[in-house]
Amino acid sequence: MFDLELLPASSHRHDAIAPDCRKVEIKLTQGKCVAIRHEPEHLIAMYRPKGGPVRIVYNGPGSIAWNAAGAIQSNGQRPITLTRLDVLDSTVAEASRLPLARPSPV
């Protein structure tokens, strides 16, 4: 969807590199929240209901989501709800988003 170059599995902190060289953490859930372990440079959070299409919930600087996330849990991750990410996404300037190259295949 964003023409990202995926990094090897279990890479520290980020999942991909964007065409403009931003490091990107990708989260996809069918639940109500996602969790982040480290502050990413850029975060893309998506929601896909069972059998439904993917919806981009957040596409913006990782620092915004990181600063709004909850306290570190016993597993070392900080949870943030999709509702909160959706609100934060509305504050992200267009220039700070990764451009969508194509619609979701599902």
Q: Which contacts (CB < 8 Å, 24+ apart) does range 25-31 have?
A: 25/62, 28/54, 29/82
What's the pTM?
A: 0.95
Rounded Cα gap, residues 55 and 52, in angstroms: 9
| Helix, strand or coil, per DSSP, at residue 28 | strand
Q: With helix as H, strand as E and coil as C, how does 79-96 read?
A: EEEHHHHHHHHCCCCHHH
Mean predicted confidence (pLDDT) in 94-102:
96
Q: What is the pLDDT of residues 31-64, one digit of tens each?
A: 999 999 999 999 999 999 998 899 999 999 999 9
Which of 9-13, 39-43, 57-61, 78-82 is predicted with the least confidence, judged by mean pLDDT?
9-13
Question: Where are the domains positioned within the chain?
Answer: 5-96
Residue 11 above 90 pLDDT?
A: no
Mean predicted confidence (pLDDT) in 54-76:
97
Q: With helix as H, strand as E and coil as C, how does 56-81 read?
A: EEEEEEHHHHHHHCCCCCCCCCEEEE
